[in-house]
Amino acid sequence: MPVWLTEDEFETLSVACDRLLPPSDASPGAVAAGVPDYIDGLLGAFCVDPPKIWAGGPVSGRHGGEPSFARFHRLGALDELAWRMRIEGSRGLPEREFNGPVIGLQERYRQGLAALGDDFRQLGPQAQDQRLRSLPHVADLLFGHACEGMYGAPEYGGNRDGSGWDAIGFAGDVQPRGWTDAEVSDP
């Protein structure tokens, strides 16, 4: 169950993300890596407490140590204002419109996914790519977040089990192990 998107929107998002970051022999595609969950988690960041904005520190446990990444930070008043503006938009609230109205990510996604069309999921891959190319503001919005969901820390909901990192030989968050001097200096 998606956190914020409707099931229909989530399905469209999933199909679109798999065109932006498709699977290959070596790499999972966006859907297999959980990219749509990452994006839905960002849009619904305030559906959980503390909001899923900033993961904790200092280590995830993937390279040793006691895992604490998944403890998300509480936001201060100013940060909550900023992130509600960014995600929800200003919604006509004076305290969010000190420099004019702000369109939030939720609205941009809702409109962007609608713009892809009811038939988008039924199209063939090439026609889907063509549709995305004809809506560059939608493709750019999804692609930027898809890259985060594919190659960011798994605690944010994407990069399932580190599969995005594994595919490209990236070790991810290496604290507290780090790298030895020889691993830094040798070929």
Q: Which residue has the tokens 């930027």?
A: 144
Cβ-count burial of 22 within 10 angstroms (0-12 exposed, 13-18 middle, 19+ buried)?
A: middle
Instruction: Pick the closest to residue 70 from 91, 56, 49 (CA basis).
Output: 56
* Minimum distance, C-beta of residue 11 to other proteins, in the bound complex (Å): 19
Residue 54: CB atoms within 10 A of its CB come to: 15
Q: Which of 43, 53, 105, 113 binds other proteins (CB under 8 A)?
A: 53
Alpha-carbon distances, residue 56 vs 40, 42, 50, 83, 186 (angstroms): 20, 16, 11, 17, 32
* Minimum distance, C-beta of residue 160 to other proteins, in the bound complex (Å): 15
Q: Which parts of 82-111 interact with other proteins (CB under 8 A)?
A: 82-83, 85-86, 95, 98-99, 102
Residue 77: CB atoms within 10 A of its CB come to: 7
58 binds other proteins (CB under 8 A): yes
x/- map, 139-158, other proteins, by CB under 8 A:
x---xx-xxx-xxxx--x--
Q: Which of 1, 7, 78, 92 binds other proteins (CB under 8 A)?
A: 78
* Half-sphere exposure of residue 81: CA atoms within 13 angstroms, side-chain side: 9
164 binds other proteins (CB under 8 A): yes
183 binds other proteins (CB under 8 A): yes
User: Which residues bind to other proteins, rule: CB under 8 A?
Assistant: 19-24, 26-27, 29, 53-60, 68-69, 73, 76-79, 81-83, 85-86, 95, 98-99, 102, 129, 132, 139, 143-144, 146-148, 150-153, 156, 164-165, 167-181, 183-187
